Structure 1
Amino acid sequence: MNKCIIFLFVLIFPGALCAQNSEKQLIESHARRKALEEESILKNYAARNVGPVVQGGRIVDIAVNEGNPKEYYVAYASGGVFKTTNRGITFSPVFDGQDALGIGDMALAPSDNNILYVGTGENNSSRSSYAGSGIYKTTDGGKTWKHLGLSDTQHIGKVVVHPQNSDVVWVASVGALYTHNQDRGVYKSTDGGKTWSKTLYVNDSTGVIDLVINPANPEQLWASAWERTRKAWDFKGSGSGSGIYRSDDGGETWRKTMDGFPEGEMVGRIGLNVSVSSPNIIYAFLDNQATVKKEKKRKDEGKLELADFRGMKIQDLLNLNNEKLNKFLKKNRFPEKYNAELVKKEIRQGKYKPLAIAEYFGDANNALFNTSTVGAELYRSDDYGDTWKKMNSYDLEGVYFTYGYYFGEVRVAPDDPHQVYIFGVPLLKSNDGGVTYARLDTIGDVHVDHQALWINPKDSQHLLLGNDGGLYESYDEGANWRHINNMPVGQFYTVNVDMEYPYNVYGGLQDNGTLVGASNSVPNRTKHWEQLFGGDGMFVSPDPRDNNLVYTGFQFGNYYRVNRRENDFTKITPQHNIGEDVLRFNWRTPLLLSKHNPDIIYIAAQRLYRSLDKGDHWESISPDLTENKPQGNVPFSTISTVSESPIKFGLIYVGTDDGNIHVSKSSGGEWTKISDGLPKGKWVASVFASPHDEGEVYVTLNGYREDDFKTYIFMSTDYGKSWESLKSNLPEVVVNDLIQDPVNPDLLYLGTDHGTYVSFDKGSSWVILGQIPNVAAYDLVVHPRENELVVGTHGRSIYIVDVKPFQQVAGNVDVPVKVFSVDTYKYSEKWGKKQYPYLKSFEPQVSIQYYIGQIAQNVRVEIYNENSDLVRVIEDQGFVGFHSVMWDVKTSSYGKSKKRGEQKWNYATKGIYTIKVISGSESDEINLEIK
């Protein structure tokens, strides 16, 4: 192809070259991460999962072996795929080794239930819907996987397998979440995924969200196209590209079938389902984004309303009855300082006009109207999609609210074409084809926000339900449910710790509030975690002096001071003054307790606020630190991260979602912008002030909301005047958090969208923590007393890693051999004995950890008693990295027995033992006391 043709091709298809580069970058990044996993010195280093499991997590699909319903798979939005073979009593993750653990959809081959296709990249278009890496296939029930391509589809809406031929498969691609790309539409393969052809394409902002097949005629399929545009500041969930298509030749060609179905800019997400018993009947569940505005009816003509101040003259306000004005201010929750006298005084002084009162909570026009979207509507076709008819006889208010993009599923009972299930916030069932409905999720502790439903084709009363709270099962058509919540799949936004013994871990979760549990928790074995608060849980900070006092809350800055002992909740969110810009709070609004005095709290909007009295009173200590960009329907130009130096009070760093970073060395007295030397316009994911060097600060930038998957991490040693990249050997990966170890300044921890990394040389190189799955690590903290790293993942709950060995090696990774201290071990006369004949005997074990910094042929662990007699030898490998061998606490008299077979083994007695690790000609040793 000559240059002119290439230029013409790019001119006509401007996204094609970008898509090629993007897909190449994704493939190279995944390959680089896999190489880092294989060579990591932390490949086998222990990381313990502490749960929780009580809350469940967002399920996006359920695939059941219908010939053996006790075997099925559950797919999580950001946690991978789990499998059960015993009806959900236990589950095992089967997808963890793949390039992306965010799942869009999956499908078992009806002709061979060992074959499962998995499409990656959640299709719900949520804030935390991570991009996938294409489609995968297993032919042995999840034991091994093969990548089948479509890497740049990013978000897969549906996978359908031919009922008789498992090599024929169709994939619906939603495409990129935040940008336009051409890897959208319907793809078909006839060779088991070896090759693909795109058979349906609408445009570069319209993907295909759902795809269904006629069970009686596999040549006939229906697809629902969905045009949507998401930006960091705005979400448009509908467009004229949305619609329903039908194919009558196996998905080779498609035609639009919209007779009787809405068309135009307001058509949003569409869910499809076909009746198995009557395949001519198809249901389409629409998110109709058309707006409905109704003028508000006054409940009491004598009371003041916000709308009254729109157009009110100054003198009319001054003439208002004080008691009436005070009641209005209190009812609408204006800041406590405002009463009638103050408002009138400031009006006289010209500080603001009456309109400012109407606009205090936002657009004044909204005060005049009840504005809502039409939302959920169910349509039905009785002629294979040729014509459609709206079925719901009344408005389905409260099913979608304003976020129908998050749902969009409909199911039909296999034995009754008129029994229909639709789900959004609630789960509804209709027995008359969608004309009337009853709610099914009110009996029992059933979570809201429903995403997946399987109906047993041999018993339509048997249901499996997936939602934001996990997995539920019913055997009576949803009249009663049991919660199967035994998988550690929590989607954490934040984590924190207290100073109890053992210490507790706190965290805020997607749609599951804030929870607290012991750091020694074991999923499914120890007690459940305690819920502190509801909503989408965000930052949570216990008072280090008394963990009965906790600061926490939910999305968009709604924070409370919680007295757990007295079950008291006091809202502490700062408020702006009348006449000032409405406060803009980030979805994940920063809340921070000062390291210097926990009575001092920081909360950030577009300005930084500080309270000196536990949130009772607030003062703004900064101007607007953002770019103050025009607003869409999502709060933007907000402060996204705050860090206070633990070394110097008043040294504060602030980062914003629109790319600004500022520093104040004077408790907010003056601010200096320090982001000019960094990539512009990126979301500032984290700023971390060093606990070792006053001028040292770390920054991570995040391009996720532009579908930019590159790595942006930087360090400054001069308060942000100049910056140095720490990307080093990392793959291209979106970064969420970077912190420095509190003990060893050379030790850094990094949380990314694809795993957790450690640097032992201050960012010159990175190694991956192999025992934490390839999920987003959203927040990191090192416990200051126990020196354990707590990792909050967005999809696999919380992991804890003992980093005391890291602290001893960082900055000196070339040390030939280093053995780490072992806690005192308690002697027991029960060692090796059975309590009852049918029980296993109790066998003690001591874990001996050591590090090899220079490769050796082999390693020898020698154990000596107090008399310096060699009593045990353990052989191990000598590759570079961290090792752990188990000593069964048995000893023998080495060298005193003539024959190996005559060597006698006994349990070690009380005393002090020397553990010596020998690597080549080098060695290191420590003592262990058995009490």
Structure 2
Amino acid sequence: MKWNYQRRLNLYSKFSIVLFMVFIFACTALFAKDEPKKEEPVIKSELLSGLKFRNIGPAFTSGRIADFAVNPGNPFEYYVAVASGHIWKTTNNGITFEPIFDDYGTYSIGCLAMDSNNPNIVWAGTGENNHQRALGYGNGVYKTVDGGKSWKNMGLKESRQIGMIAIDPRNSDVVYVAAEGSAWGTGGERGLYKTTDGGNTWTKVLNISENTGINNIVFDPRNPDILYATSEQRRRHVHTKIGGGPESAIHKSTDAGKTWRKLESGLPKEDMGGIGIAVSPVNPDIVYAIIEAANSAGGFFRSTDRGESWQKMSDYSSSGQYYNEIYCDPVNVDKVFSVETVSRVTLDAGKTWQSLGLDKRHVDDHALWINPSNTNNFMIGGDGGIYITYDNGKNYMHVQNLPVTQFYRVALDNETPFYNVFGGTQDNNSFGGPSRNFSSDGVTKGEWIVTIGGDGFWTRIDPLDPNIVYSEYQYGNVYRFDKKSHETVYIKPTPEKGELTYKWNWNTPFIISPHKNTRLYMAANVVFKSDDRGNTWQKISDDLTANIDRNTWPVMGKFWSIDAVAKDVSTSLYGIIISLDESPAKEGLIYAGTDDGVISVTEDGGKNWRKISSFPGIPANTYVSDIYASRFDENVVYASFDNILRDDFKPYILKSSDKGKTWISITKGLPENGTVHTLEQDFIDKDLLFAGTEFGAYYSYNGGNNWVQLKNGLPANAVKDMTIQQRETDLVIATFGRGFYILDDYSPLREINPSLNEKEASIFPIKDALMYIQKSNKYGQGATEYLGENPPYGATFTYYLKDVPKTQKEVRQEKEKELFKEGKPIPQPTWKELEDEAKEIAPYLIFTITDEQGNVIRKLTKSASKGVNRITWDLQYSNTFTLQLNDKKFNPIKEDRGFWMVMPGKYNVSLGMYSKGEFKELVPAKEFEAKSINNTSLPAPDRKEMVEFQRKVAETTRVMAGTIDFNKELIEKMAYLKQAIVNTPEAGNDLMSEAVKIEKELNNILFNFEGLSAKASDEEIPPQQVPLSQRLYYIIEAQINTTSAITNTSKKAYEIINEELPSLVKQLEKIALVDIKNLETKLEQAKAPYTPGRLPVLN
């Protein structure tokens, strides 16, 4: 009893204490002041505007074309819908193209339609109009009314893929949009939509179901109220594809879309898939359809009664998921084109077909335009870009200036002095080329090499031998490529005796071990390892997938027969490894991620594996798009997941700090539609991460807690892969539709964090500058030549500026803006105040460059702007030629071209600002180094002597150029003085003789400098004494483009100049300061009118 009493007493005491603590906390909460939650400061993309990506293309392969819109009144003007690379426009028949749709939040374009009444009005449907495996999605329909200068989203943002747009030729405000809807899920804006007010409002006029949209809409050209539409039931997921169903059909309306009926007579009774339809412009009673259907019921069909009944002309059809688009010839009613793998044409209404011509042309076509004035001239768009023929397909011209290649992967070598960029592409081979070159023009198409053909994917280069390149095409077909000989060895692992075939993904992972350059890993449903560069392979895992039978999952709410339309066609087998990595921090620590949502890890090189199939916040069985083992900590691993093929566009990135046992999400700052494809980590700062998403590149400065977009120079595009060139600290990314992009020297990102805002200004660490002679190697190539962009030549300074002082005008305008908002009177500035504003010099930055001795050798200026920016010094001394002013106006930021290269060595740069009449130093001197790459065959034995000679020549140039210009100014002045003598009554007649004598002496001096003027070429002038300017030209021409030794000819020329120049300068000095002054004094005494350079005397 006592024990129970004591126990109760103890419990009561404990309970009292708990109640007391709750009361205290409640009171604290009650009486405490509400303190706002402090938000962690974040970096904004706008701060990073100076960190700009550059595009290196290439363009020689081009990329997949979806549609054309050609101006019927001027076929030299047309628009190109690039399937994964935005919209481009040409006004000169393809000599040049301009991207005109880079900043509208999507990159995938399905179709275009030009208003026949106004070629400046063009409609664009976003989201590629098919359902193949490498598909992008859109955000609605857009319209331009100014020829592509600007675009406006007109709605249907949830349509995902748009198949076709039709504009009523009688009324431009009436537009029909065939919205296919998402290929990966139900619902959304799916069906046929119509607007009667130019896109302000939309009405769905044909609805099939949540699974079936409309992929074609065409008019009867005689009566646009007669419409034909095709519906397409389809679905694609990672594990499967259904290419058709009972809801695919052809529909007709005779009342502008108010009512519809399904056309059936003569058409397949089986489930249909993708349907293409076209009305003959020659005889609109004739309608053609190409139909994919189950059980071989599809084919090519013709109606002669406006679709009321159909006749099957042949069994010919193509793949509805990628093709089945037909085009009627504008003059021949029986001639129809079908674009597909090998495009075809029929001349007998579809009974027989022949190839359209493939000589020196890529396969896989998707778009066609036929010149109505000359049908032998047509333009085809496909996976290989644009091809144009003028002889009915016998010969084609390939357009090679559209850098719209779709890259799946990117890899880099360590070649010196410039590394190479390699990658695999969608249907355009695997190849590699230089990240930059010695030319001031850029990288040419001839500098790229193809390693293997097909659809290219993973490429890896031996880190110790850049001549050994591994490239693969689809399904793990990997080759070892010898860059020296261009030989290839096929090294794909094959099953052992008695084994079943492996399951390979379309995009098979392949890596080189970070611990041994001859060790390779690749994966099917199992992981393979080779220690001899792929000559032999060892299987180091069992099947690491979830082993799910894909037929046990319903599609569109149903289970489908194996006979369903194109079931699982062009779809990889399910249950395959698609991401693979070995930890750089620990040998044998390997991660494998699968398409069915499993991550497996081995810590002993594959002897034992641990499977992980459940992840916080990640839907089950989600595709593991990338797995990235930390460079620094063997316990840390990152994983990204891509659930886009289940209509889930959210970004998923997880981090584990215990080798995958537990995970946390790190996606703050990524957009809701930012599906993540790839991850990368800096090699110095473990918290500096990069992510490639469906619509751009992002970085995190704090280990994934916050993400910031890197977008300057980079259009909205899918970043499928990214990697780092450590020697150069470059971030290189592979986009799926705009080629390769490079962010040169991203090292400032290591210091760009919220604390940066505490500084007034900063110069980030400066990368060593490479010194070489940059020359232009291209002349007369024409404007069609695409050149990959080189980085600016020289030393690049990346700097930060917190604020820019406001000018008087900006201060006034800000005050006026506030007063206007408040409805208060706005004081009007005086004319004097406005004049002072106009004369005020806006703030500008001054970068002062000094050598090791502290001598100032160059100053660079730039407009002051907030944030992170860049400026590049060309490694040259200041120009010593005569200054030139545009419109004779002062411009503090006028480009100052250098003259003569500096010595290799260490230099310093400081940053200051000029504002409101004062100079202020912002950042003290920061050191950097200029390094020669030593690529000269005959280098100067004494570079210092060479540079000193060049400096002397620069000083001689300054003096001679200035003296010649001064000489010419004096001659011009003499014209004024002679005119003043004639016009002044009191001027003595002897003054003219004096003036003529002076002028003659000036002309004689100028002759010594410049000699006779040539009518065409100096070589046509009879023998004369060599002008000093010509001797100087010989020296400059001999030395300006080389680091070789000074020629003796140059030395002799310099000696001659030094002998003759001083006396000419002295003669000119006497004429200017004595002879002309005396003449001017006499003219002033004679009260002559003003002449330039003479100050009148007030008597």
CA distance in 1 between counterparts of 2:265 and 2:878 reads 80
CA distance in 1 between counterparts of 2:448 and 2:858 reads 44
Give the 3 Å change call, closer, same or farther, for CA 830–643 of structure 1 in structure 2.
Answer: closer
What SS class does the counterpart of residue 667 from structure 2 fall into?
coil
What SS class does the counterpart of residue 96 from structure 1 fall into?
coil
Equivalent position of 2:146 in the other structure: 140
The letter of the residue matching 2:763 is K
Give the 3 Å change call, closer, same or farther, for CA 449–928 of structure 1 in structure 2.
Answer: same
Of 279, 291, 295, which aligns to 1:290?
A: 295
Deviation string for 1:508-543 (max 9, x for gaps)?
101112111111167774525221111111111122
What SS class does the counterpart of residue 114 from structure 1 fall into?
coil
Equivalent position of 2:560 in the other structure: none
User: What does residue range 153-164 of structure 1 map to in structure 2 within 5 Å?
Assistant: 153-164=159-170
Deviation string for 1:413-460 (max 9, x for gaps)?
1111111111211111111111112212222x1111110001112222
Of 494, 502, 505, which aligns to 2:421?
A: 505
Maintained 8 Å contact 1:744/1:807: no
CA distance in 2 between counterparts of 1:924 and 1:805 reads 20
Equivalent position of 1:652 in the other structure: 590
TM-score, normalized by length of structure 1? 0.80
CA distance in 2 between counterparts of 1:830 and 1:578 reads 59
Maintained 8 Å contact 1:425/1:450: yes
User: What does residue range 341-352 of structure 1 map to in structure 2 within 5 Å?
Assistant: none
Equivalent position of 1:6 in the other structure: none
Equivalent position of 2:274 in the other structure: 269
Give the 3 Å change call, closer, same or farther, for CA 829–709 of structure 1 in structure 2.
Answer: closer
* Alpha-carbon shift at residue 37 of structure 1 (Å): 12
User: Are 1:852 and 2:800 counterparts?
Assistant: yes
Of 608, 626, 649, which aligns to 2:527?
A: 608
Tell me which moved more, 672-681 or 749-758.
Answer: 672-681
CA distance in 2 between counterparts of 1:593 and 1:830 reads 37
Equivalent position of 1:661 in the other structure: 599
CA distance in 1 between counterparts of 2:44 and 2:73 reads 38
CA distance in 2 between counterparts of 1:850 and 1:537 reads 36
Tell me which moved more, 608-617 or 704-713.
Answer: 608-617
CA distance in 2 between counterparts of 1:45 and 1:80 reads 23
Deviation string for 1:73-129 (max 9, x for gaps)?
111111101101110111110000111110111101110000010000011111121
Of 750, 753, 759, which aligns to 2:700?
A: 759
Equivalent position of 2:379 in the other structure: 464
Maintained 8 Å contact 1:744/1:810: no
Of 679, 683, 704, which aligns to 1:738?
A: 679
Equivalent position of 1:388 in the other structure: 310
CA distance in 2 between counterparts of 1:614 and 1:554 reads 18
Maintained 8 Å contact 2:729/2:747: no
CA distance in 2 between counterparts of 1:762 and 1:813 reads 17
CA distance in 1 between counterparts of 2:270 and 2:88 reads 40
* Alpha-carbon shift at residue 874 of structure 1 (Å): 2.4
Equivalent position of 1:541 in the other structure: 460
Equivalent position of 1:120 in the other structure: 126
* Alpha-carbon shift at residue 578 of structure 1 (Å): 5.4
Give the 3 Å change call, closer, same or farther, for CA 854–151 of structure 1 in structure 2.
Answer: same
User: What does residue range 175-254 of structure 1 map to in structure 2 within 5 Å?
Assistant: 175-254=181-260
CA distance in 2 between counterparts of 1:657 and 1:179 reads 18
The letter of the residue matching 2:733 is V
Equivalent position of 1:361 in the other structure: none
CA distance in 2 between counterparts of 1:618 and 1:118 reads 50
CA distance in 1 between counterparts of 2:746 and 2:45 reads 22
Equivalent position of 1:42 in the other structure: 48
The letter of the residue matching 1:55 is T
User: What does residue range 43-82 of structure 1 map to in structure 2 within 5 Å?
Assistant: 43-82=49-88
Maintained 8 Å contact 1:871/1:892: no
Of 729, 736, 744, which aligns to 1:794?
A: 736
CA distance in 2 between counterparts of 1:666 and 1:763 reads 29
CA distance in 1 between counterparts of 2:301 and 2:891 reads 82
Equivalent position of 1:598 in the other structure: 517
Of 615, 632, 642, which aligns to 1:677?
A: 615
Give the 3 Å change call, closer, same or farther, for CA 778–577 of structure 1 in structure 2.
Answer: same
Unaligned runs of 5+ in 2: 1-41, 552-567, 777-791, 806-842, 882-887, 914-919, 931-946, 948-1099
User: What does residue range 293-308 of structure 1 map to in structure 2 within 5 Å?
Assistant: none
Equivalent position of 2:847 in the other structure: 862
* Alpha-carbon shift at residue 872 of structure 1 (Å): 3.3
CA distance in 2 between counterparts of 1:594 and 1:378 reads 53
Maintained 8 Å contact 2:731/2:746: no
Maintained 8 Å contact 1:182/1:203: no
Give the 3 Å change call, closer, same or farther, for CA 861–289 of structure 1 in structure 2.
Answer: farther
CA distance in 2 between counterparts of 1:689 and 1:709 reads 24
Equivalent position of 2:780 in the other structure: none
Equivalent position of 2:646 in the other structure: 706
Equivalent position of 1:327 in the other structure: none
CA RMSD of aligned residues (A): 3.0
Greater strand proportion: 1
What SS class does the counterpart of residue 55 from structure 1 fall into?
coil
What SS class does the counterpart of residue 41 from structure 1 fall into?
helix
Maintained 8 Å contact 2:131/2:321: yes
The letter of the residue matching 1:766 is W
Deviation string for 1:824-860 (max 9, x for gaps)?
58699999xxxxxxxxxxxx98664323274453663
Maintained 8 Å contact 2:436/2:443: no
The letter of the residue matching 2:731 is L
User: Are 1:571 and 2:571 counterparts?
Assistant: no
Give the 3 Å change call, closer, same or farther, for CA 847–616 of structure 1 in structure 2.
Answer: closer
Deviation string for 1:269-311 (max 9, x for gaps)?
01111111111111101123325xxxxxxxxxxxxxxxxxxxx
Maintained 8 Å contact 2:771/2:794: no
Maintained 8 Å contact 1:726/1:763: yes
The letter of the residue matching 1:73 is Y
Unaligned runs of 5+ in 1: 1-35, 292-373, 832-843, 894-898
Equivalent position of 2:926 in the other structure: 926
CA distance in 2 between counterparts of 1:150 and 1:535 reads 36
Maintained 8 Å contact 1:737/1:779: yes
CA distance in 1 between counterparts of 2:383 and 2:164 reads 19
* Alpha-carbon shift at residue 580 of structure 1 (Å): 4.8
Deviation string for 1:481-526 (max 9, x for gaps)?
1111211111011110112122111111011121111111677745
CA distance in 1 between counterparts of 2:870 and 2:443 reads 28
User: What does residue range 28-39 of structure 1 map to in structure 2 within 5 Å?
Assistant: 39=45
Give the 3 Å change call, closer, same or farther, for CA 231–523 of structure 1 in structure 2.
Answer: farther
Find the structure with the greater CA-based Rg. Answer: 2
Maintained 8 Å contact 1:814/1:853: no
Of 691, 696, 701, which aligns to 1:750?
A: 691
CA distance in 2 between counterparts of 1:426 and 1:378 reads 16
Equivalent position of 1:475 in the other structure: 390
What SS class does the counterpart of residue 321 from structure 2 fall into?
helix
Equivalent position of 1:834 in the other structure: none
Maintained 8 Å contact 2:120/2:145: yes
Equivalent position of 1:881 in the other structure: 868
Maintained 8 Å contact 1:601/1:612: yes
* Alpha-carbon shift at residue 246 of structure 1 (Å): 0.9
What SS class does the counterpart of residue 141 from structure 1 fall into?
coil
CA distance in 2 between counterparts of 1:901 and 1:146 reads 41
The letter of the residue matching 1:721 is K
Deviation string for 1:391-418 (max 9, x for gaps)?
12xx44xx73xx4311011111111111
CA distance in 2 between counterparts of 1:568 and 1:272 reads 47
CA distance in 2 between counterparts of 1:523 and 1:378 reads 48
Give the 3 Å change call, closer, same or farther, for CA 143–523 of structure 1 in structure 2.
Answer: farther
Equivalent position of 2:326 in the other structure: 410
The letter of the residue matching 2:294 is Q
Equivalent position of 1:21 in the other structure: none
Greater helix proportion: 2
Maintained 8 Å contact 1:683/1:703: yes
Equivalent position of 1:640 in the other structure: 578
Give the 3 Å change call, closer, same or farther, for CA 872–674 of structure 1 in structure 2.
Answer: same
* Alpha-carbon shift at residue 924 of structure 1 (Å): 4.2
The letter of the residue matching 1:389 is Q
Tell me which moved more, 754-763 or 734-743.
Answer: 754-763
User: Are 1:494 and 2:409 counterparts?
Assistant: yes
Give the 3 Å change call, closer, same or farther, for CA 814–463 of structure 1 in structure 2.
Answer: same
Equivalent position of 1:294 in the other structure: none
TM-score, normalized by length of structure 2? 0.68
The letter of the residue matching 1:391 is M
